[in-house]
Structure 1
Amino acid sequence: MLLTAAARLSWAAILRRLLIVNSFNALLWLLLPLTYGGTEVVRFAGLNLSLTGLRLAALITIKGNAAVLLFISLLSTSTVARLGHSLQLLRLSPRLCLLLLFSYRYLGLIHEEFLRLHRAAELRCFHPRTNLHTYRTYGHLLGMVIVRSWNRAARVQQAMLLRGFSGTFHSLEPTELHRNDVLLMAGLLLTALLLVVLELIG
């Protein structure tokens, strides 16, 4: 929560993401106290609730929300291009870094292409139903998206080769390690070590 507050992100967007995570946690709160078992039992509304199940549901909820807040605060403050370049500087596979960058860049374009073809089908009075015509139409639609994506990928590859692309990603923004970065990394490592020690002691 401290990292999220320091990142100065929109709390409304954060709460929407946490709502998705906690919808799964709500199911755990309903099932674990009733099914986990154990000797310690708490009676509530005529039901025998396992105290161990309640503790486990609370632990999963706290850890899940902490992990989501950690990723949001660390990843939302950086662009995908800078993230890909940083992963490459950490000696991650260059192919994986390029896959991340190209996926982020072109998934939106592929989605736009799908929406354009879907609008064209609707202008031709296409109304989806549970019949063979609808399944065939969606099959043709997805086939056209794959074909056009393949053609676009071929054009992009040719354009990059013409510009001398050799498989290495170069960033236009200089990457420098500042004192605040070192302090943040040290603080996160010490916190992680403390959590591991507490887990072993508990």
Structure 2
Amino acid sequence: MGHLVSSGPKVLIGADGARTENFLDGLDPRSRLLAALFFAILVVSLKSLAVLALGFGVSLAMLLATRLPLKGTLRRMAAMDGFIIFMLVLLPFTVPGTPLFFVFGFPFSLEGALKAAEIALKANAVILMLMVLVGTLEPVTLGHALHRLRTPETLVHLLMFTVRYISVLHQEYQRLRGAMKVRSFRLRNSLHTYKSIGYLVGMMLVRSVDRSERILAAMKCRGFTGAIPLLDAMRFSKRDAVFAALVSVVGGTLLILEWGNGTAY
């Protein structure tokens, strides 16, 4: 299974420039996965804006400690914000509460603004921590770690094949788009454009199914039986114990502060 993803991306989230060594490289990948899961569950359960801001600060501190490219990582996080920005903008106008001002007759409520800030802090804190702890893992290593954590093999297979072949499908898309441009196709607001894009998507689906069947046949010819050969010998070390203790201290501190603040609003 390892050779199937070897020509894919080195890590799930690439860095802009050379990647430097950091303290996470010596940790067991399972420790990083469990820490990311624990942090995500903890942050989602928080309500106080002050504590959530502190949680986001922890994620940012991890980013700085691992010496990942700050500009590139924050740009990818901003791309994620693009999926929720409309919800965050509309929340102050849809959540009932104390109106601060009016826009075209619609009240901008304080409660809605606070809810939007809460969601934004949670989403950014979690995604930034995932990019630091999980996004810097090699796909094969991540697949093996998930398998050793008793994740269903089908899900592990889907992850590893997706990471490996998404670039191949992108190249196929670029080839088809290039062929359309050679034939003087230009995007316009017309029925012809919509039909052409539909044909493009349909051709991508057909070729994806055809490629998947050929890949499966090639794997069966090489003796693939549906099991993942585990090539990495993963063992928890003292460094993992120290990291787990540090994560527990940070998590416990956030919980204590949350209980101390009570209901923030």
Shift of 1:95: 0.4
- Greater helix percent: which structure? 1
Distance 2:139 2:254 in 1: 29
* 1:146 alignment partner in structure 2: 205
1:80 to 127, 139, 142: 139
* 1:188 alignment partner in structure 2: 247
List alignment gaps of at least 5 residues for structure 1.
none
2:156 to 97, 100, 111: 97
* 1:7 alignment partner in structure 2: 66
Shift of 1:83: 0.8
Distance 2:119 2:230 in 1: 39
SS of alignment partner, residue 158 of structure 2: helix
Distance 1:130 1:33 in 2: 32
**TM-score between the two structures when normalised by the length of structure 1:** 0.79
Distance 1:15 1:95 in 2: 32
Change in 2 beyond 3 A, CA 1:132/1:84: same
* 1:127 alignment partner in structure 2: 186
Which deviates more from structure 2 when the two are superposed, residues 63-72 or residues 81-90? Answer: 63-72
**TM-score between the two structures when normalised by the length of structure 2:** 0.62
Distance 2:208 2:94 in 1: 49
- % identical equivalent positions: 35
Change in 2 beyond 3 A, CA 1:142/1:191: same
* 1:114 alignment partner in structure 2: 173
Which deviates more from structure 2 when the two are superposed, residues 189-198 or residues 7-16? Answer: 189-198
Assess if the C-alpha contact under 8 Å between 2:91 and 2:113 holds in 1.
no
Amino acid across the alignment from 2:168:
L
1:84-107 CA distances to partner (integer Å, 9 max, x unpaired)? 110110001010011011111112
Distance 2:123 2:214 in 1: 42
Q: Is 1:37 matched up with 2:97?
A: yes
Assess if the C-alpha contact under 8 Å between 1:82 and 1:171 holds in 2.
no
Shift of 1:115: 1.2
Which deviates more from structure 2 when the two are superposed, residues 116-125 or residues 93-102? Answer: 116-125
Residue correspondences, number:
196
Distance 2:72 2:187 in 1: 33
List alignment gaps of at least 5 residues for structure 2.
1-59, 102-106
Which deviates more from structure 2 when the two are superposed, residues 102-111 or residues 59-68? Answer: 59-68
Cα RMSD for the two superposed structures: 3.1
Give 1 or 2 for the bigger CA radius of gyration. Answer: 1
